[in-house]
């Protein structure tokens, strides 16, 4: 199977980006290939398309399954396993976000909580704990925001993303309303 130039460019780019995203080149290439493939592919087809070893493909597919990024499909009359990706790009984004949270954010919060419960032995540790408390607070706030946002359906999430910096106008309006309310309360009290 020879990849057309357009698909090959996409697959190669994902391979290069893989190392920046914390996965190896082959995992990135396999994911990209499966993503753009109109039909599920078996390991042999992936080996042929990418020119990598069968063992490398098997290990990479296991890693992608561990991330919940590939779906196992069976073809009638064929004993081989076939793989594909979710069709909905929002499902993929949500899966990536959830997996990264589980693997990176949650363990960091756990460590920070443990450290913040310890008694500091001196001024340096007290200062360090104050800084860690700030970090913990920010990560907790982001986690709470993420938990709220992940409940949104894809259409609402797309709308939220399309607002971009326009959200600041909403916040500015809220601030003006709050300030106006305070002024009214102050004038009623006088």
The model's pLDDT over 14-63, given as tens digits with 9 standing for 90+, comes to 999 988 888 899 999 999 999 999 999 999 999 999 999 999 999 999 99
Cα radius of gyration rounded to whole Å, the chain: 24
What is the pTM for the complete model shown? 0.78
What is the mean pLDDT of the segment spanning 90-99?
A: 92
Burial of 15 (0-12, 13-18, 19+ CB in 10 A): buried
* Same-domain check for residues 54 and 109: no
Question: What pLDDT does residue 94 have?
Answer: 92
Q: What is the CATH number of the domain that holds 75?
A: 1.10.10.10
Residue 157, in any domain of the structure: no
Same domain, 9 and 79: yes
Look at residues 84, 103, 122 and tell me which one is the last residue of a structural domain.
84
Q: Looking at the structure, tell me whether residues 11 and 75 fall in a common domain.
A: yes
Domain count, the chain: 3
Taking the C-alpha atoms of residue 123 and residue 133, their distance in angstroms, rounded to an integer, is 15
Q: What is the mean pLDDT of the chain?
A: 92
Domain extent at residue 181: 163-190
Q: Are residues 140 and 169 in the same domain?
A: no
Choose the weakest-confidence range: 4-8, 55-59, 138-142, 172-176: 172-176
């Amino acid at each position: 199977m020879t990849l057309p130039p357009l698909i090959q460019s996409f697959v190669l780019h994902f391979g290069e980006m893989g190392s920046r995203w914390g996965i190896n080149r082959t995992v990135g290439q396999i994911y990209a290939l499966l993503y753009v493939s109109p039909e599920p592919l078996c390991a042999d087809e992936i080996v042929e398309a990418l020119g990598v070893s069968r063992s490398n493909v098997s290990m990479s597919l296991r890693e992608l399954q561990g991330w919940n990024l590939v779906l196992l499909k069976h073809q009638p009359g064929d004993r081989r396993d076939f793989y594909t990706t979710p069709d909905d790009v929002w499902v993929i984004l949500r899966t990536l976000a959830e997996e990264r949270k589980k693997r990176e954010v949650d363990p960091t919060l756990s460590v920070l909580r443990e450290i913040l419960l310890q008694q500091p032995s001196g001024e340096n540790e007290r200062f360090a704990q104050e800084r860690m408390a700030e970090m913990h607070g920010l990560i907790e706030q982001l986690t709470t925001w993420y938990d709220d946002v992940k409940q949104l359906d894809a259409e609402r999430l797309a709308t939220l993303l399309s607002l971009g910096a326009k959200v600041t106008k909403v916040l500015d309006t809220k601030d003006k309303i709050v300030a106006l309310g305070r002024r009214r309360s102050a004038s009623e009290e006088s």
